[in-house]
A and B are shown apart, each in its own frame.
Chain A
Amino acid sequence: MTTTHTVSTPTRAGTLGTNAHRPDGVAKVQGGFAFSSDMWSENMLWGATLRSPHPYAKIISIDDSAALAIDGVECVVTAQDVPGSPYYGLIMSDQPVFAAIGDTVRYCGEPIAAVAADHPETCKRALAAIRVVYEILTPVTNPQDCVSGIAPQIHPEGNVYRHQRIITGDQSIVGDVIVEGTYEIGMQDQAFLGLESALAIPDSGGEGLELYVATQWLHEDRKQIAACLNIPEDKIRLVLGGVGGAFGAREDISLQVHTCLLALKSGRPVRISYGREESFYGHVHRHPATIWMRHHADRNGKILKIESTMLFDGGAYCSTSPAVLINAITHTQGPYKCDNASVEGWAVRTNNPPCGAMRGFGVVQACFAHESQMEKLAAALGLSPVEIRLRNVMETGDRLITGQIMDSVAPVEQCIRETDAIAMPEPLLPNADIRQIPGGTGLTAQPGNIVRGVGWGVSMKNLMYSEGFDDYSTARCRMTDGVVSVKFATSEVGQGFTMLAQQIARTILGVDEVLLDTIDTQVGSAGSTSASRQTWMSGGAVKAACEKVLEDLFDHAALTFELSRDHVRIEETDIVDILSGRRIAVSEASKGISFDRTEEYHHPPTEDLDENGQGNCHVAFAFVAHRAVVDVDVELGLVKVVQIATAQDVGRILNPISVQGQVEGGIAQGLGLAVMEEIIVNDGKVRNPSFTDYLLPTFLDAPLVEMVLIEEFEPKSPLGAKGVGEPPCISVTPAIANAIRNATGRELPRVPIRPYDICL
């Protein structure tokens, strides 16, 4: 059931609810948009990073003399050049800027040194000339060993990032039907196209610098950089360089401090730009996880109890592992009612590549498990996948296993019914084009070899940060002589926030043109572009700042034009006094004035979880259902995802094409995890750090997507809209897995599903 919120139907181009134009769109299609890797400065040096080839080793010595002797090399920096904190990190400062002599490197790819030189090729040769002597140690690569305690400590802070239980309800309950499984999720990579790049320009006096960087959170970066450089934050200006996608991989700093160190030491601008291989080593990945789950249900299919253990391999450094784990375990139940649960989760440190934020943030892993379980429950009870879920759907007002009451709009049943109502795709024809069938132009299959399967996945996803974290946002709105400009530090990573900010300002202030100020640290923090939070939080901040300016404008207009202050409204581009009917154009009313308002937007506070995992730890939730249709060449195990049908709970559509883009893009990423994407790690070493062997879905892999967007206005959200970025990539993975299971009869407890999993 959709409730209609009374907002005047948008008629004006570029306001909320319309397909407004991207302010960066023209530059992007012409190739003139400046990504951080396009940034250039006079007198610039190139920088590059030396990384450990070993997953666990002690550094005995570092000799950079041969590198420094190469013509064109300007300087080398190592741990001893770090003036401030040697370590950084989002939650725990445990990650070295550079591994130092006498200390250990803890993952393959850990930075040891950086060089600045006149040409990227000179940098490559300089890196090859740096002699590092290692004492190779035996890496800890099995996360289970960190739980059992048999693994040696590989860091003074210990091998356990977080251990948390959730215990609620009656543990003695036993279901009429019990299903269980042990599920594995492989390490996915964000693989944004816009490779890491930063340009640091030192001040002439050397006391500070300017850093142009593609990142997700300018202020958090600045805080960590300042601590490492031992420079006050106000002497470091971070400017957002154009971001070519993020998906979580830019939440941790990677090259920021290195670039700054080279710039300060050389006294010249320095740019570091990663190549693809280095990018794979240079940022955190999605946590690989092993999840055991057991569902108890009554004979009508109602879930009685869920038990689970979850083990997340956080790799060598902490990043956001504790928060990822909490997200995972608190989403154990999925979008279903559950009164009784026992969950135990571990996030541990190993010598595997460090893991952290990736779109979905722990919920992807939990959802794969719980939706695989729902499939087993359905089979055990002889119910359809739709029916088993409908019998358990969560509703607003339900108590979660953490004790929190679900107070978000929760149209789970509607998501499922709307998805179910979407027409199935046409059956595969005997003369189908080769590009429509598994194997594609590889000509492996013919229609007779192919079996079709259908599968479901439904999920919930928390929005914003959790467990007491106040991830507020800030925005500044100015109206000067009729010209409106908005300033914020919100990272635009492609999701379209800069466009949304303009839409908000246009709608509230009744203007058509909204200028956007540089995105930098000259305004308060906007928090991270992650957790599906920016529409809500930064949208809320922009709204708040604009509304304050509007109040100022109304005050001024009422006085100047003798309007009734209590009865003025904006209608299209006019100020209207609804009492007298008088109408003054905003452009007229705002002549000669200047208003300037900066506002912070905070969400309601949340709580930590107690030792039983009880606490109101999340702010809000969004829901989505996916139905996947796949064709499988069962003899070869090749898969073509034919169609994804989805209904997503979006609250309110602020920009239709933008939402559509998030849904389709998220689905592609979830598809990647289901059938092709995995960082393969053996003994701590990455085997496939390139696009030849880390496979992203291409145009020929993309399915048809049919979507329904459910607009049930979320009253807690400043604009009524929920974040839409993460839900599309979460339950699509188990939907595809369930479809392949449906086609093949295989259990397939692990994603990504490999061809040999299907046919051997």
Chain B
Amino acid sequence: MSSETLGNEIYTLRVNGQDHQVKDAWIGESLLYVLRERLGLPGAKGACEQGECGSCTVVMDSQAVCSCLVMAAAAVDTEILTVEGLGENGSLTDIQQAFLAAGGVQCGFCTPGFIVAVHHLLDSNPEPSDDQIRESLSGNICRCTGYGRILEAVKIVISQRGA
């Protein structure tokens, strides 16, 4: 790309509590692209580039959003949380464990987006009904599981946390 198209600015993104500098970037790069291709955080996935699948879900300033629709250069001064930032020191969160135990992972492509979305859901609403779970996750598409085992995983966590 020509140096006209790539900027010579450096901008900083705060991801999982750490500052990352981004340089020589093109302004049209989405947050998803920058996370995956520049910051070494390939956990968020791209499956549609238009916010119709939720595979790219991250939490930004406490909101679960599609990172494919966030202009990376405009995400400065926000707190971004990706799937890589969830467990402490590489250990699994209860949600991640429940997804595994309940069979909620097959090909795994939708999984990071779901894990982040479920973390966000249960942080804001610790005891959602089944219908609330379904609606809150209606922006996350899974092509493999048919959602049954994923619902089960979320209910396991709710039950464990409530106990």
Complex: A in contact with B (CB within 8 Å) = yes
Interface residues of A (CB under 8 A from B): 19, 21-22, 24-35, 37-38, 40, 71-72, 117-122, 191-195, 242-245, 247, 275-276, 433, 435-436, 441, 493-496, 657-658, 660-661, 663-669, 690-692, 696-700, 702, 705
Q: How far is A433 from B131 in the complex, measured between Cα atoms in Å?
A: 8
Q: How far is A700 from B151 in the complex, measured between Cα atoms in Å?
A: 11
User: Least Cβ distance of A103 to chain B in Å?
Assistant: 32
- Which of B45, B52, B86, B107 has the most A CB atoms < 10 Å from its CB? B107
User: Least Cβ distance of A365 to chain B in Å?
Assistant: 20
B141 near A702 (CB under 8 angstroms)?
Answer: no
Interfacial chain B residues near A664, Cβ < 8 Å: 145-149
Interfacial chain A residues near B105, Cβ < 8 Å: 22, 25, 28-29
Chain B residues numbered 75-109 whose CB sits less than 8 Å from any CB in chain A: 82-84, 86-87, 90, 92, 96, 99-100, 102-103, 105-109
Q: How far is A33 from B99 in the complex, measured between Cα atoms in Å?
A: 15
Interfacial chain B residues near A24, Cβ < 8 Å: 108
User: Least Cβ distance of B31 to chain A in Å?
Assistant: 15
Interfacial chain A residues near B86, Cβ < 8 Å: 30
User: Least Cβ distance of B7 to chain A in Å?
Assistant: 13
Interfacial chain A residues near B42, Cβ < 8 Å: 31, 34, 38
Interfacial chain A residues near B99, Cβ < 8 Å: 29
B149 near A660 (CB under 8 angstroms)?
Answer: yes
B143 near A193 (CB under 8 angstroms)?
Answer: yes
Interfacial chain B residues near A72, Cβ < 8 Å: 1-2
User: Is chain B's binding surface mostly helix, strand, loop or mixed?
Assistant: loop
B102 near A691 (CB under 8 angstroms)?
Answer: no
B148 near A698 (CB under 8 angstroms)?
Answer: no
Q: How far is A461 from B46 in the complex, measured between Cα atoms in Å?
A: 34
User: Least Cβ distance of A69 to chain B in Å?
Assistant: 11
A32 near B48 (CB under 8 angstroms)?
Answer: no
Q: How far is A665 from B103 in the complex, measured between Cα atoms in Å?
A: 12
Q: How far is A705 from B152 in the complex, measured between Cα atoms in Å?
A: 12
Interfacial chain A residues near B11, Cβ < 8 Å: none
B73 proximal to A (CB < 8 A): no
Extra contacts besides A30-B84, A35-B45, A192-B143 (7): CB < 8 Å: A31-B43, A31-B83, A35-B108, A35-B109, A275-B46, A691-B48, A699-B138
21 residue pairs A–B, Cβ–Cβ below 8 Å: A29-B83, A40-B37, A119-B1, A120-B33, A193-B55, A194-B45, A245-B109, A247-B143, A276-B50, A660-B149, A661-B145, A664-B145, A664-B146, A664-B147, A690-B50, A692-B52, A698-B138, A699-B133, A699-B134, A699-B151, A702-B146
Q: How far is A195 from B45 in the complex, measured between Cα atoms in Å?
A: 10
* B-side interface residues, number (CB < 8 Å): 61
Residue of A nearest to B99 (CB): A29
Interfacial chain A residues near B28, Cβ < 8 Å: 121
A-B contact count (CB 8 A): 188
Q: How far is A242 from B106 in the complex, measured between Cα atoms in Å?
A: 12
Q: Given the known inter-chain contacts A193-B110, A495-B106, please indicate yes or no for A661 contacting B149, CB distance below 8 A.
A: yes
Interfacial chain B residues near A193, Cβ < 8 Å: 45, 47, 53, 55, 107, 109-110, 141-143
User: Least Cβ distance of B117 to chain A in Å?
Assistant: 10
Q: How far is A692 from B82 in the complex, measured between Cα atoms in Å?
A: 25
B106 near A194 (CB under 8 angstroms)?
Answer: no
Q: How far is A407 from B152 in the complex, measured between Cα atoms in Å?
A: 38
User: Least Cβ distance of B57 to chain A in Å?
Assistant: 11
User: Least Cβ distance of B92 to chain A in Å?
Assistant: 7
Q: Which of A29, A192, A668 meets B147, CB within 8 Å?
A: A668
Residue of B nearest to A435 (CB): B131
User: Least Cβ distance of B134 to chain A in Å?
Assistant: 4
A30 near B43 (CB under 8 angstroms)?
Answer: yes
Question: B111-128 toward A: CB 8 Å interface, digit per residue (1/0)?
Answer: 110010000000000000
Q: Given the known inter-chain contacts A193-B45, A244-B108, A699-B138, please indicate yes or no for A494 contacting B144, CB distance below 8 A.
A: yes
Residue of A nearest to B4 (CB): A71
B67 proximal to A (CB < 8 A): no
B96 near A699 (CB under 8 angstroms)?
Answer: no
B137 proximal to A (CB < 8 A): yes
Q: Which of B50, B53, B112, B148 meets A660, CB within 8 Å?
A: B148
Q: Given the known inter-chain contacts A193-B45, A193-B47, A699-B134, please indicate yes or no for A28 contacting B108, CB distance below 8 A.
A: yes
B106 near A496 (CB under 8 angstroms)?
Answer: yes
User: Least Cβ distance of A129 to chain B in Å?
Assistant: 13
B106 near A276 (CB under 8 angstroms)?
Answer: no
B50 near A691 (CB under 8 angstroms)?
Answer: yes
Q: How far is A122 from B99 in the complex, measured between Cα atoms in Å?
A: 39
B100 near A26 (CB under 8 angstroms)?
Answer: yes
Interfacial chain B residues near A40, Cβ < 8 Å: 37
B135 proximal to A (CB < 8 A): yes
Q: Which of B52, B92, B138 meets A29, CB within 8 Å?
A: B92
B36 proximal to A (CB < 8 A): yes
Q: How far is A40 from B38 in the complex, measured between Cα atoms in Å?
A: 11
